[in-house]
Structure 1
Amino acid sequence: MSIPGRRRITVVLLDKPQSRELLSLGATIASLLQAEIEGVFIEDDALFRLTGLPFLRELRWGSRHEARLDPARLTQEWRAIAKQTREVLEESAKRAGLSWSFRVWRGEYDSDLGQLATDSEMLLMGRHGSLSPRRFSTRYRPATAAPKPLRLGVIVDAGMAEPRLLETITELAQKPEIEIVLFLPPDEGRPLIETLDDHLRHHDPEQLISLIRITDKEPVKLAKQLKASACDLLMISERSSLLKGPTIKRILEDLPYPTVVVRK
């Protein structure tokens, strides 16, 4: 349980190889915001239920052996992966000097995320594929190499336009490790545009934050425009209309970078 008043970033972890990179990214964000980091390993209930289907078979790449999915073996493998992931989280958190916690959660990744971490400020999730290798490599880099700032794209709609969330965006923009790009969806009302302009005028006098107007909310075209911006991370409010249908899934399938869902 988090300490009252403390900020928390929750990293959602699946049975995928990008967990180490995702945890490293989560530790970076938590460090910049002086927040604690939580890792939640997902045991996908939808996948677990599939193990009961008699016609379903699993093909092991190493042995080329085909066998029926075994729920006991699946659970055992999940526990082994969760143990390894917990160790990676501990390593990343200690290196960054962060408070951390870890837990395993059983549920459906696509439909139950709203119940996953109700007291967290942000949920960090990887896309349904691998992360971009150019930014999150865990290879050793010489101390003389100047790291590029993390390019954070933020979809600004009614949810992200709340004063406290705009303050968080501005706070991140002041960090040399972060470069902020705001995406303004089409058809947004004049009050939102005026609120955004007023905030940037008063809190971003050096114009560190860039603003790009999205021309089309159709999923494929929207994903293409976001991808063209060459961001490393996408931030979106849980109140965004894009999260209320299949649009966000279509977007994430085409983006080569993970997503932060802002909860509060």
Structure 2
Amino acid sequence: MSTTRGAATVIERTPADTTTPIVVAINAARRCRETLEMATALAVSVGADLEVVFVEDANLLRLADLPVTREIDWISGIIRELDSRRMLRSLHCEARQLRRELTRIGRASSVRSTLRVVRGHYLTEALAASASVDLTFVHSARRPLPGEHPPSARARPGTAGPALGRAHRAAGRKPLWTLFDGSPASGRALAVAATLARTLACHLVVVLPVSGVDEIERRKREVQTAADKVTLRYLVVADNRFFQPGKAPAPNTGSLLVLARNSPDLEDSAAQSYLESLTIPVVLVA
């Protein structure tokens, strides 16, 4: 169950707006820039606004009050005691940084955005936020452990170009991934993945859960029709095995995974465990 902690409108919407916003769920503002820029690139492409949901992790706050919990400074390596009040101050600082980032993106791209802050379990809140919209970016469900990623470098004054240009550079080096099983829901996810691949100038890996050679060729023809002018690669997996532990593919850091939001597979605990293990953004398509 979520608790709304605050809401700040970065840029107001107008009553004439009819396109549903693209939701971006975030739990670590300092490492979300590339996710925001990819979402912005898609928003520019389809003429949508951004609705950013910053989730204060309730489990993290509970852990912060345990007597054995300590904080290690990124730069100095100094170990400090940690409690929920200190953690909340840190989360509020991240939210302020996120507001500044959205303001910068809005000025560079003219994309309008809103920000709201909630508290709860990250993936649960992200899925709840996706319920009433067509597209949701879920930024890295797992927080990187200390030492996995260096702190994000600050942009130098005067060097910030359009968000779309930076998204091209950030995502163009890595492929996008999507799962296509022939269902209408996975077809919509495939269409969004193809749009993103064209927008971000990268190729697309299509995971095909199939059981026979004839089915493989049929699925490939369907993909080629839906993803025109996109460089395609295929990964064939055993039917209904995509999310099983030890069998699921692990896209590289810098990739993006596009999935159907209403797939029955996402209700499975193994699927949610898989999503929570990823350190890449996931796009959920209604």
The normalised TM-score by structure 2 is 0.68
Q: Pick the aligned partner of 1:151 from 137, 152, 175.
A: 175
The alpha carbon displacement at 1:95 in A equals 1.0
Q: Tell me, what secondary structure is at the counterpart of 2:117?
A: strand
2:119 is equivalent to residue 95 of structure 1: no
Aligned partners of 2:29 and 2:98 also within 8 Å:
no
2:246 is equivalent to residue 220 of structure 1: yes
CA distance in 2, matches of 1:192, 1:7: 34
Aligned partners of 2:29 and 2:97 also within 8 Å:
no
Give the match for residue 43 of structure 2. 30
Q: Superposed, which structure 2 residues align to 1:140-219 within 5 Å? A: 147=169, 148=172, 151-157=175-181, 161=185, 164-172=188-196, 174-175=198-199, 177-187=201-211, 196=219, 199-200=222-223, 202-204=225-227, 208-215=231-238, 217=242, 218-219=244-245
The alpha carbon displacement at 1:172 in A equals 4.2
Distance of aligned partners of 1:32 and 1:59 in 2 relative to their CA distance in 1, 3 Å threshold: same
Q: Tell me, what secondary structure is at the counterpart of 1:219?
A: coil
Q: Pick the aligned partner of 1:21 from 34, 38, 47.
A: 34
Aligned partners of 2:198 and 2:230 also within 8 Å:
no
Structure 2 unpaired stretches of 5+: 1-11, 162-167
Counterpart AA for 2:106: A
CA distance in 1, matches of 2:230, 2:38: 25
Q: Pick the aligned partner of 1:58 from 70, 84, 97.
A: 70
Q: Tell me, what secondary structure is at the counterpart of 2:269?
A: coil
Give the match for residue 244 of structure 1. 268
CA distance in 2, matches of 1:220, 1:8: 35
Q: Pick the aligned partner of 2:283 from 234, 245, 260.
A: 260
The alpha carbon displacement at 1:110 in A equals 3.4
Give the match for residue 81 of structure 2. 67
Q: Deviation digits for residues 7-66 of structure 1, max 9, x if unmatched? A: 32222222353122222222122222322112221111122233454x343234358454
Q: Pick the aligned partner of 2:93 from 80, 84, 87.
A: 80
CA distance in 2, matches of 1:10, 1:223: 25
Give the match for residue 9 of structure 2. none
The normalised TM-score by structure 1 is 0.73
CA distance in 2, matches of 1:26, 1:206: 21
CA distance in 2, matches of 1:60, 1:149: 32
The alpha carbon displacement at 1:87 in A equals 0.6
Counterpart AA for 1:250: Y
Counterpart AA for 2:81: A
The alpha carbon displacement at 1:81 in A equals 1.4
Distance of aligned partners of 1:138 and 1:180 in 2 relative to their CA distance in 1, 3 Å threshold: farther
Aligned partners of 1:30 and 1:37 also within 8 Å:
yes
Q: Tell me, what secondary structure is at the counterpart of 2:102?
A: helix
Aligned partners of 2:24 and 2:137 also within 8 Å:
yes
Q: Pick the aligned partner of 2:24 from 7, 11, 29.
A: 11
Same amino acid, percent of matched pairs: 19
2:105 is equivalent to residue 105 of structure 1: no
Aligned partners of 2:54 and 2:116 also within 8 Å:
yes
Give the match for residue 43 of structure 1. 56
Structure 1 unpaired stretches of 5+: none
Q: CA RMSD in A?
A: 4.1
CA distance in 2, matches of 1:102, 1:85: 9
